């Protein structure tokens, strides 16, 4: 008997909850494997859980999440239609940047999630998620670009945008995010 997509994702979440491959589980309250629709056409990938996410075990529920919700509403995409997750599944202390080894040991979970969901479109939020697909590239240069790639035998359209937390700190970046979401909305309508 084969498992449903929801059951497969639940199994990944269980593995994440037990994970001790790096030290982040020691300081985290909860793991934040990701949340959303297992049949999503669109997956959003952020950087790592923050304080609110760590408390609730859910991605993008703090201030960045509120901005993400607003941006989603401007393109009439309900959060229940998408899947949202992060590069790291446990919160780094003081929200510091993910370390290379943390990314290395944690991203197999992301890879497994994407292979289960098989989305058509991935929106990367910030540089760490962008660099997972495009190592060495610069977010300020490629944000807003629509890039079609074959990744792990999956045909994907990747659209990198700034991280919502950058939009909360900087008006110019917020404007870029709003513009990029309008392009995302148009791309979704046309595809
Ligand atoms: N920032 C992220 O990158 N991910 C979250 O889940 C919340 C804030």
Mean pLDDT confidence for 143-159: 98
Confidence of residue 33 (pLDDT cuts 50, 70, 90): very high
Domains recognised in the chain with CATH numbers: 5-190 (3.40.470.10)
State whether the beta carbon of 164 lies less than 6 angstroms from ligand 1.
no
What is the pLDDT confidence band of residue 35, given thresholds at 50, 70 and 90?
Answer: very high
Average pLDDT over residues 20-44: 98
Closest ligand 1 atom to Cα of 87 = 3
Flag whether pLDDT at 1 surpasses 90. Answer: no
Among 34, 44, 51, 64, which residue has the most ligand 1 atoms within 8 Å of its CB, making it the best to mutate? 64
What is the average per-residue pLDDT within 4-27? 98
Q: In sequence order, what are the residues at sequence separation of 6 or more whose Cβ sits closer than 8 angstroms to the Cβ of residue 24?
A: 88, 90, 91, 92, 102
For the cut 90, the answer to whether the pLDDT of residue 5 exceeds it is yes
């Amino acid at each position: 008997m084969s498992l449903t997509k929801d059951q497969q994702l639940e199994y990944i979440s269980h593995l994440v909850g037990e994970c001790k491959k790096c030290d982040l589980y020691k300081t985290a309250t909860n793991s934040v494997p990701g949340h959303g629709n297992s049949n999503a056409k669109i997956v959003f990938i952020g950087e790592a859980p923050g304080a609110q996410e760590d408390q609730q075990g859910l991605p993008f529920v703090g201030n960045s999440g509120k901005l993400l919700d607003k941006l989603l509403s401007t393109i009439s995409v309900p959060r229940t239609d998408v899947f949202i997750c992060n590069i790291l599944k446990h919160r780094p202390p003081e929200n510091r940047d993910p370390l290379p080894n943390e990314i290395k040991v944690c991203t197999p979970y992301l890879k497994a999630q994407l292979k289960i969901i098989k989305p058509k479109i991935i929106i990367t939020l910030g540089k760490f998620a962008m660099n997972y697909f495009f190592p060495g590239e610069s977010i300020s240069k490629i944000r807003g670009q629509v890039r079609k790639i074959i990744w792990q035998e999956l045909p994907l359209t990747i659209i990198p945008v700034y991280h919502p937390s950058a939009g909360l700190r900087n008006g110019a970046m917020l404007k870029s995010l709003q513009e990029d979401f309008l392009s995302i909305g148009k791309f979704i309508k046309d595809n």
